[in-house]
Amino acid sequence: MGACNLNHSQQDVRQKFESQKAFLPTALSQTIDCYLEKGNSQETLNELFHLLKKYDLSTQEEQESRNEKLKQVML
């Protein structure tokens, strides 16, 4: 993921998640949904946003890589 100087709000991340939800594996989608219910650091919000950004346009290999990164962020 490229570096981005923008800070994304909890609402931005929620909207991005909702737009990509149908493309995510069900179990991961449920985990992200629960994770976004609690407050998260700005760094975490930014990372989640960029992992979700254009998820639907990524290759299957890239999606699998992002899935692993998403899981690591939420640990």
Residue 1 has pLDDT above 50, yes or no: no
pTM metric for this prediction: 0.87
- Indicate the number of domains in the chain: 1
Look at residue 53 and tell me if it is in a domain.
yes
Look at residue 26 and tell me if it is in a domain.
yes
Look at residue 48 and tell me if it is in a domain.
yes
Look at residue 65 and tell me if it is in a domain.
yes
Look at residue 2 and tell me if it is in a domain.
no
At 40-66, the pLDDT tens digits run 889 999 999 999 999 999 999 999 999
Range of the domain at 17: 10-73
Instruction: Give exposure, 14-49, as e/b (b: 16+ Cβ within 10 Å).
Output: bebbeebbeebeeebbeebeebbeeebeeeebbbbb
Look at residue 33 and tell me if it is in a domain.
yes
Look at residue 5 and tell me if it is in a domain.
no
Look at residue 64 and tell me if it is in a domain.
yes
